[in-house]
Structure 1
Amino acid sequence: MQQNQRFAQTNVNKLAMNNGGMSSLPATYNHIQIITAYQLKQLLGNFVRLLPLTINKKPLHHRQVPTTFSSSIFASNQNQNKEETTLIWCDKNIDIHDDTKKRTELLQQVNDYILICSNLDTCLEYINQIKTEKLFLILSGQSADEMIDKVHDYKQVDSIYIFCINNIKYEHYLKEDHEKYYKLVGIYTEHESLLRAIQENIRYLIKQSQATSLFEQDERSMRNLSSELHNFDAFRAFKYVLLKTDYDREQAKREMLETCRNYYRGNKKELANINEFEQTYKSTNAIHWYTRQTFVYRLVNKALRTEDYEALLILRFFINDLCENLRLKYDDLKQRQEQLGSSTVVSYRGSKLSSPEIYNLKYNIGKSIATNGFLSTSRSKHVANIFAKKGAKRLGVETVIVEIHVDTTKLTTALADIAEYSDYPNEQEVLFDLGASFTIDNVTYDEKDKIWLVKLSSVSEEVLTNDIQTLLKRCTETEMNLLLGELLVRMGYYSKCRKYLENLFDLYGNEHEYMAKIYELIGWSYTDEKEYDQAILNYEKAFDRYSSSNRWEDASKVASDIAACYYGKEDKNAAKTCKCNHHDDKIVQIYENIGLTYRDDGNYVQTIVYFQESEKLRIKYVTFWKERKAYTQCLIKTYEICETKITSQEKQAQCLFDIGHRLLIDDKDYAFKFVSKALEIRLLVLKSDDVNIGFSHYDMAACYKTMNMFDMAIEHL
């Protein structure tokens, strides 16, 4: 709710990129949400009618080993874990200072992130911190006696392995009621068999993370398209824009490898893989590298599943190649299917789902779902069945076979047979590109085989293509790097947005025409965080560049944004003191500088005199209400630009409407003047059923209501 209020109050003005200034009323005005939805349409057309006004994002969990544990716990990597899994070796008899190096090298053959613990309580405390990874826990025999009952039912613990000299001593754990220690995979006395078991289960887990992304209700990677008709997947928009941004391939490759080397430092196996990638990688073998169990496969899947935008920016060089490879392979697949006289491709996916997840599927039969990441399936139902029965056992979890029917004449998302590139060709893998969408056709239970069968079919072209094509059209009209920054701020990733945009300074240079837009977007990100001083600073830079190049429509919009920032500052200060405030005289000076640029026709001398006199009158005692007056004047000056510099009557009406809308609280007389003028123009130039006429009538009713003229208000409703 709070995010919606912030969005409505201070950022609505950013949502119509082709209109002069947007509304910025407090969230208590319910109709602001209607206007917001309309302005979103203006930005990205029908595509963004599905973009959420706010993103319910869960912050990624940044886990690190607490310094207080340094004597009893060793971590192979002090960075945030970028992979899906963490491997923990817990042995209370181990010497952290002497036994870790060789043991770490051994374990890193199957997993990068390793923790070695000698204190059982410390190990438990650490496990409790884990939020975004699955844990593979190795317990020594003695540690198992003390730990297994404590950790077994932790959700983040995927599987448990006992490593000891005397396996007979601990076999009773396997002989217990199988439901009690169902996560215990086995008891091992040799490293080779232990590592083989862990490696197999890690591979299975990563594969499963792709499949469950279709169904898990608490995952961001699930998308129920039918229930989100007004909330399009912003991540998909990010994907399309990300893959269309221009970049230097060699530089992007160097940056990716440098980041990976820094992350995997100390991991000999992965550093060797990185060196091999650097020396041998070609854009045409992206599929082969993805199918290998190396750093690329793991980092890409984790970044996609958790929607780690910063990681995706670093990895986009490889993701772009992989998507292009799949597209080309999909063209080949369609040709083969055409030669066979059939457009249908059937593939399967083995999975494990909880009862609530299965019920959710049954409840949503006929609706559409989508994934964020790449989705791995198999041509073989037998292979899918093997995968479905693999992995650690789970209480309340049932085996599921997902059967996917694809009509290649309708599916717009690419898929490809990739067995020839895979290290596991017998799996007959079929890989779907990012964002594959399906309709849930049927969910049944096979009593004989004790397995659920979920049937999905590819979503028809008509369902998705209109939205996608609208975005692609928008992509051709807007610089991709700027649109990517815009999407980041829309999704609420403000610091990442600023970091990304600041990197564009070197790309474009200080005098480039895009610099104005970059400063505007940075200002927008600060506005969302209510850092109004920083927002104003960047908006002013944008304003100077727009006005110096006679881009008056953009200049008026930014001026309106600055006014909204002052409005936000006033509200914030009023909330703190509940009385009129004295503000720094610098604020007033900024108003005058803004006002100075509003004067058109080159009459700057008189403008300077006018604002300097105004500043002298207010510089000593600037109260809250006087600033509201300045805010009103700022809006009026905004319209002066629109009136003289913008020739389109429709856009003039939009500017009038926005100003009047903002003034409904502070200056009812001015509000009525602007709102009524906007309606007058719209009735002349727009079709009678245009939604903008409805908005104007709504605000006319609001004006009459504030004047207690209820009969007149009703006429406009």
Structure 2
Amino acid sequence: MSSELSMTEKMLPASSFTSTSIRPSYYIREPNFGKYDNIEDIAVVWLDSHSNVSLDCFDMKIRLRYLINHLLTFHSISTCLEYMNSDIEYEKVFFIVSGSDSEIILPEIHLSPKIHFNYIFCNDKEKYENLSQTYSKIRGIFNDKDSLLKKLISDITSCLSNLLPISILSQASVTQKSLRDLSNESARFMWFQMLIEILIKMEHTDEAKSDLIEICRKQYKNDLVQSKRIDEFEKTYTADKAASWYTRDSFVYRLLNKALRTENIDIIYKFRSFIADLHQQLSVLQSTEPISTDEFLYRGQKLPIEELQYLQKNINGYLSMNTFVSFSRSSQAALLFAGKGEDRPQLESVLFQTEVNDGLAIFANIENVSYYKDEGEFLFTIGSVFRIADIEHIGNIIWVITLVIDTNANEDVEKLSKYLKKYYTGECSLLKIAEILFQIGEYDRAEHYCKLCNEQLHVDHQDRCRLNLLFGDIFRAGKGDFQAAEQFYVSALKLAQDSSLRASVLAGLGRLEDETGKYEAALTHLTESFDLNLKEHPNTTNEIVAKIYADIALVYRHKLDFTKSLEYYNQSLEINLQLLPDLHPSLANLYNNIAYLNTVLGKYDEAMKSYEISLKIQLKSLPKTHPDIATVYNNMAILHECNHDSQLAMEMFCKSLELFSAVLPSDHPTIATLYHNIGTSFHEIKNYPKAITHLEKALDLRKKILPLTHLHIAESYESLAYSYYGVYDYQKTLDFCNMALEIDPTRAALHECIGETRSKQHDYDGALVAFRKAIDLCNPLMMKDNRLLARIHFSMAQVLLTQEKLDEALECYKTVSLVPLSYADQDTLAVANMHLADIYTYKKQFRLAIESYKKCLDYNSECVPQVEMYNNLAANYFEVGQEEADEEYYRKALEIRKKILNVFPLDDQDLGITYSIIGTIYYKLNEYDLCLEHKEKARDHLLKNVSMNNDILTNICESIASFYELRGEMEKAIENGELLLKLQMDKFDSENPKNLDILANLCNNLGSLYHQVQNIEKAIECVEQAVTFERIAKISNPELYDNNFEILQSQVITCGNLAALYEEAEATEKQIIMLNRCLEIYSKLVLHSQQKTDLALASMAEIFKMLGGCYSKLDDHHMAFKSYQQALYFFIQLGSNNETMSNEYKENLENAKMKMNNKS
């Protein structure tokens, strides 16, 4: 909004322009720039911000008006710049600018190809002389009107003679119609030539002359000079004066050549009688005044350097003059027009020379009929073709181009040209022009000429039926107005007198019904048309039959019966290959449709071959903006989508949309289809917002032009549902799915989408209901439905897995895993087999798990973690080995683990885990050395990140320590035991008593190892630490530690071990403390079962005996006596019959008593 306001604010009010008969610029700031009415080649633009107040400048403008009709005056630099940047196609701008304004605007426009020359008009020449060195297009700096006008007249005259509409048959494309690539746009050239031929041959009335005068008066309404010449033309023109008027510097030459160069059919049509008159005059002159065949003719002119370079690249190629072009007998006279290279670098001086060949082209000496009688001029008619024999640079001054009159042009084009001329033989009329315009996709112009024809035809003229039929085709194919098209077809059907015309109308009606989804009615009318044509032409090898075969094929395609459709297309192709030239556009259409069907049927290579043939024909036989080329790009895009190249598909769709938009109304169904296709491409590359934007454009258009129950609208709803799913708008997803189902309730994919959406909303039961509906609607006989079935079963399995319904999920995954790869993508199959294997593993069905993991890995999908799959496969082999004690399965597990090491780039954690598992397998295989080797490798890798791998490391270090202990390598056992203890200490949790028990046990084991190497001090240190951990654990949970037999027994062992170590260290007092701690614990054991009580009584008897010995060492015979007394007591409570042990207890007691008495 703000930008529009700012543009409006910058517009000059009407009063700012000079209020005289001089026409100001019609250029205004509107979205459609360039809406001014110049149909000449030349425009003079005047910029002077002070010209309104200068009488001198006003007089200058008046004088310029006599020179050029299209004079635009600007008094604002910004407005002038806007004009220069607008669409002023085909014009050569001669730019006059004041000195002060030139310094501002020239830097902005000097590189523009629209600017032909610049002229600075000022008071102080010296001040602006330096600009000529900076800007090469400056022709001069002028301070007087006469010198400026003289130079301007010279330059414009030269330019007008150089602006020839010529074409070159080459392979390079060009941006201007003055050099057009006919090898690639040969058909456009042929259609244009045919239009000219029709204009020449059609009947001309006084109305034709009136049309010409009317358009000329409108163009030159403010030009007094040309207006007088138009009056003269109206009063005095006759057919024998055509050459005179063409050679005169007048409106005729300027307007006709501009129209011919730009192929402006509307203006050319206005000149129809004049073109015919001039062509006929040349033909008559040629026949009455023969020319010597050994004579040379010359033409001098200036060519833009780009055009000369194209000519140089195409020596032995062909140059076509697409207007009436003059040559001279005198090379010297021609050289005057060529110049001497003074306009470089923009223009080169060129001399064309050609040897006369009177039988191969229509041309004549017009010296006696030309406006300028003394020039010795020869004039060639429109479309004369020359071969470019040679191009030579003479003296670094002029280029001499030798042309040969030759008819051996491009053979393919010539073949097509003959065929087209044969097709359009007969009466030349407006209706025929309209038919040709329709064929080349000029639908608006075709409609225009149909309307002109409608005005001219009598109400009961025999061409009324053909006219209504063409109207119907235009509104159907060109405008997408199906209602209007139907009305015209019905009218044509009523007027059809002969069976041939009736068949054509029925065919058109059938095509319309096909486009509106009335497929059965379409087949009925097309079949009627086919039968009528067979009556008219019993030989089935004819074009009409081939066309109806193609139409029927299209209906079957829309009915999704692709096999039958392909059958009819092949029949049509077979006939057309016998009848048509190799470059005929109909062949391209057939190859295009056959390619599309092969795409749908999954035959992608065959499809691409057909598309390439189609496109090759079209690029040679049709205009580059023809709708059929756009159709092929669209269909190639679909093929690229099938090959999963969404980016290339989108580029093709956009190319197609660009071409269609150039020839179709913005609300045409095809435009809607393109928006839809581009939207689906954005969806494929996961750009869902852009997908939604394009899909909604398609839906809006389809709602305007199609019945609301049309399948294309359902298609739009469905695609929008998928894209809204992509942006997590699940409610809109469900809404669009339901709207699509209202139109077509048989769409299984929509129920699948609902199921996926319900799953995302955690409505798992609702999801399963939708999935089951989708399955019921699928047809297993159709490949696309088999793909869908695989997808649905996979999604169901995922939902069932989430609900932990493993048996049902297992069945769904099994269904997916059995689907052939042609019906499901390998990623889906890989993931299905992965989950299937996981469930088998969970259910301990290890052999089945092995088979599923192997299938999963066979698909080589990036959607499953490869290393994890190999690990799981190896783990299942290991489990089977354990179940069946089968060394073979251990070996297979080992082989896979080694493959993981060799094939995959693993980090230290994965390496450590893998080495550890390999070590375990070697242990199962009784290969202990290899087991130890791999366990140590595992330990070393895992130690690089202890925090992540603590649990695994503790198990590995414990195994390694045990191995070394069994082998008697106590130092290494101690080293790993210390590491093990450190790892456990690192994850110590004072809140978890279980961790304290583990630490106590590790300290005990480590103490035992130190004891075995006679390091009593370290042994005591470790076991003391064990006692400490146990005490802390008891404090944290006293009830548990006072009542659990296993825990009490573990504590007794720890205290006993420490007591034994104290004994070896002769730390008797510490030993007594630990023995008393043992007694304290065992006193709690007597509360448990009898078996546990007997064990406690026996242990207590032994501990009291040990206490007695400790006290004896300390000469505390009293405490020794009491301890031995308690030992004997518990031994007697035990009820043992062992007399030896009984006597020992009694003897210890007596000895202690004796020593106690002796001491007293």
The TM-score with structure 2 as length reference comes to: 0.44
Q: Which residue of the other structure, out of 35, 43, 46, is the alignment partner of 1:89?
A: 46
Deviates more, 1:224-233 or 1:524-533: 224-233
Within the candidate set 510, 531, 549, 1:657 is matched to 549
**Distance in 2, Cα, partners of 1:678 & 1:240:** 36
Distance in 1 (alpha carbons) for counterparts of 2:155 and 2:587:
61
Gaps of 5+ in 2: 1-9, 27-35, 604-1160
Q: Secondary structure at the match of 1:304?
A: helix
Write out per-residue CA displacement over residues 558-617 of structure 1, whole angstroms, 9 at most, x where no aligned residue.
2222222233344xxxxxxxxxxxxxxxxxxxxxxxxxxxxxxxxxxxxxxxxxxxxxxx
SS at match of 2:120: strand
- Equivalent residue number for residue 53 of structure 1: none
Summarize the Cα distance change of 1:211–1:661 in structure 2 as closer, same or farther, 3 Å threshold.
Answer: closer
Amino acid at match of 2:73: I
Is the aligned partner of 1:630 residue 2:521? yes
1:22-171 equivalences under 5 Å are: 70=14, 72=16, 75-76=23-24, 78=26, 79-95=36-52, 103-129=60-86, 130-171=88-129
1:543 to 493, 501, 506: 493
Amino acid at match of 2:436: L
Deviation for aligned residue 1:367: 1.9
How far is 1:461 from its partner?
6.9
Task: Name the CA distance, whole Å, in 2 between partners of 1:235 and 1:122.
Answer: 37
- Relative distance call for 1:424 and 1:171 in structure 2 (3 A) is farther
The answer for unaligned runs of 5 or more in structure 1 is 1-65, 571-626, 710-717
Deviations 1:496-536 (A, max 9, x none): 22222212223221211101111122222222232333222
Partner residue in 2 for 1:434: 382
Pair 1:201–1:498, CA change in 2 (3 A):
same
* From 304, 312, 315, the counterpart of 1:365: 315
Provide closer, same or farther for how the CA distance between residues 653 and 198 of structure 1 changes in structure 2, counting only shifts above 3 A. Answer: closer
Residue type at the aligned position of 1:514: D
Give the structure with the higher percent helix. 2
Q: Deviations over 1:630-655 (max 9, x none)?
A: 33334334445445666555458547
For residue 352 of structure 2, what is the aligned residue in structure 1? Answer: 402
The reply on whether 1:258 has 2:208 as its aligned counterpart is no
Task: Report the more deviating stretch, 318-327 or 427-436.
Answer: 427-436
Please give the alpha-carbon distance, in whole angstroms, between the structure 2 residues aligned to 1:669 and 1:697. 18
Any idea what the Cα deviations from partners look like across 1:411-445, whole Å, max 9, x if unmatched? Answer: 23x22233444455565433221111111212233
| Equivalences for residues 172-251 of structure 1 within 5 A | 172-174=130-132, 177=133, 180-210=134-164, 217-225=174-182, 233-248=190-205, 250-251=206-207
1:460 matched residue in structure 2: 407
**Following TM superposition, by how much is the alpha carbon of 1:76 offset from its aligned partner in structure 2, in angstroms?**
4.3
Q: Is the 8 A contact 2:52 2:58 kept in 1?
A: no
Q: How far does residue 227 in structure 1 lie from its aligned partner after superposition?
A: 5.7
**1:286 matched to 2:242:** yes
Verify the 8 A CA contact 2:129 2:141 in the aligned structure 1.
yes
1:347 maps onto 2:298 in alignment: yes
Preserved contact between residue 170 and residue 187 of structure 1 (Cα < 8 Å):
yes
Matches within 5 A, 1:310-349: 310-333=266-289, 335-337=290-292, 342-349=293-300
Q: Deviations over 1:84-103 (max 9, x none)?
A: 11111211112289999755
Aligned residue for 1:109, secondary structure, equals helix
The answer on whether the counterparts of 1:241 and 1:475 sit within 8 Å (CA) in structure 2 is: no
CA contact (8 A) 1:253 1:317 kept: yes
Say if 1:388 and 1:76 are closer, same or farther in 2 by CA, change over 3 A: same
Could you tell which deviates more after superposition, 78-87 or 362-371? 362-371
Pair 469,213 (structure 1): closer, same or farther in 2 beyond 3 Å: closer
Higher relative contact order (CA 8 A, sep 6+): 1
Q: 1:545 to 1:87 in 2, by over 3 A?
A: same
- Check whether the contact 1:184–1:392 (CA below 8 A) recurs between aligned residues: no
Of the three residues 384, 391, 406, the one matched with 1:443 is 391
Residue identity (%)? 24
How many angstroms apart in 1 are the aligned matches of 2:599 and 2:236? 72
Give CA-to-partner distance per residue, 1:652-705, whole Å, 9 cap, x none: 85476345423442568898599689969x99xx99x99999999999999999
- TM-score normalised by length of structure 1: 0.69
Q: CA RMSD in A?
A: 4.2
Instruction: Give the partner amino acid of 2:554.
Output: R
Q: Which residue of 2 aligns with 1:565?
A: 512
Q: SS state of the match for residue 66, structure 2?
A: coil
CA contact (8 A) 2:177 2:261 kept: yes
Q: Is the 8 A contact 2:350 2:401 kept in 1?
A: yes
Structure 2 counterpart SS, 1:370 = strand
Look up the match of 1:524.
473
Partner amino acid, structure 2, of 1:144: S
SS in 1 for 2:52: coil
In the alignment of these two chains, the number of paired residues is: 570
Distance of 2:547 and 2:108 partners within structure 1: 64
Gap change, CA 1:486 and 1:266, over 3 Å in 2 = same
C-alpha distance in 2, partners of 1:116/1:694?
Answer: 50
Output the amino acid matched with 2:503: S
Q: Is the 8 A contact 1:663 1:671 kept in 2?
A: no
Amino acid at match of 1:387: F
Secondary structure of the residue aligned to 2:461 is: coil
1:266 CA drift (Å): 2.0
